[in-house]
Amino acid sequence: MAPVAQPALAARISEPQPIPIWASVLVILLCLGGGGWIMHWYVTSDPLSHETKLLDPGVIPAAPTRTPPSARGNNMAAAQAAPAVRKQDDTSWWVHAPEAAMLIDTKAKPPTIKVINYTNYEFVPQEDRTRIISARRIARDDAVAKSLDLTPDQVTKMRGLTAQIGMVTDPADLENLKNLWTAYDAASNKPAAETALVQALTATARKSIDKTKQAAAERSAKIKAVLTDEQWKKFDAMGR
């Protein structure tokens, strides 16, 4: 009886089997493809979150734009170029200067100045401005007057102190402005006449600052005197 070659068979079974060439090629291709896809994903994704997104310039939000300095300069120039003399209606004209404005009534003969005001009253102390504004509220709001227990006499006095601060001018300055308006109205060279008118209005405004401040202070004192201290405390507690 011939011996069984079991060890040789076992040796052949335990030897590793070579990988077919086609399988090796397939593995290499898969590795190359996968690596390429990963690289593409990394490059085309947000480096912070690595979330895939389309790199389409059309979907990228545009950066906020600012008006170029040259354009801003043009806008300012346009605003400054607005006419100083402007028609309100058939018989009224506004004259504007950087610091003041006045309303001319041409229906009257000779023309008269109906209104003359500053464009800004910050030169008047805040306390005086606040009290004048408070007087308007007290005089015009019946609920406030009732809450403060104002007498009829107090209401009447307060109503007489609610006018705008206005500009306190010398009569001679007003007469000069009216004459310059008449000259402007008749002038063939409007720009030159307009410049003279605006310059005179500016000079009048600057000259009248102290008188206007004084008038506002005097009116503020009169307003304060209308109410008692207790009434002012109640008003302050109401909030302005």
153/200 same-domain check: yes
The model's pLDDT over 29-84, given as tens digits with 9 standing for 90+, comes to 666 666 555 544 433 333 333 333 323 333 323 333 444 444 445 544 444 557 89
Which helix (H) or strand (E) segment is 111 a member of? none
Structural domain count, the chain: 2
The strand pair at 85-89 and 92-96 is best described as antiparallel
43/92 same-domain check: no
36/109 same-domain check: no
7 is a domain residue: no
Give the domain extent around 30. Answer: 22-51
102 is a domain residue: yes
How high is the pLDDT of residue 129? 94
The model's pLDDT over 127-182, given as tens digits with 9 standing for 90+, comes to 999 999 999 999 999 999 999 999 999 999 999 999 989 999 999 999 999 999 99
113 is a domain residue: yes
100/161 same-domain check: yes
176/225 same-domain check: yes
101/211 same-domain check: yes
Interatomic CA distance for residues 198 and 96, integer angstroms: 7
How high is the pLDDT of residue 82? 74
The model's pLDDT over 5-26, given as tens digits with 9 standing for 90+, comes to 455 544 444 555 566 676 666 6
Last residue of a domain, one of 7, 36, 51: 51
Distances (CA, A) of 122 to 61, 119, 150, 199: 44, 10, 30, 21
- Nearest-Å Rg of the Cα atoms of the chain is 44
75: Cα separation from own chain's centroid:
15
59 is a domain residue: no
Interatomic CA distance for residues 181 and 172, integer angstroms: 14
45/115 same-domain check: no
172/94 same-domain check: yes
225 is a domain residue: yes
125/227 same-domain check: yes
The 3-class secondary structure across 29-93, one letter per residue, is HHHHHHHHHHHHHHHCECCCCCCECCCCHHHCCCCCCCCCHHHHHHHHHHHHCCCCEEEEECCEE
164/227 same-domain check: yes
138/233 same-domain check: yes
Contact (CB, 8 A) for 219 and 132: yes
How high is the pLDDT of residue 71? 47
The model's pLDDT over 212-226, given as tens digits with 9 standing for 90+, comes to 999 999 999 999 999
184 is a domain residue: yes
- Would the pLDDT of 185 be above 70? yes
139 is a domain residue: yes
How high is the pLDDT of residue 41? 44
**Residue 108 pLDDT level (bands cut at 50, 70, 90):** confident
How high is the pLDDT of residue 33? 60
Sheet holding 92-96, edge to edge: 85-89, 92-96, 100-105, 112-118
39/114 same-domain check: no
Interatomic CA distance for residues 142 and 158, integer angstroms: 12
How high is the pLDDT of residue 28? 72
136 is a domain residue: yes
Arithmetic mean of pLDDT, 72-99? 77
Contact (CB, 8 A) for 102 and 208: no
The 3-class secondary structure across 11-26, one letter per residue, is HHHHCCCCCCHHHHHH
How high is the pLDDT of residue 83? 84
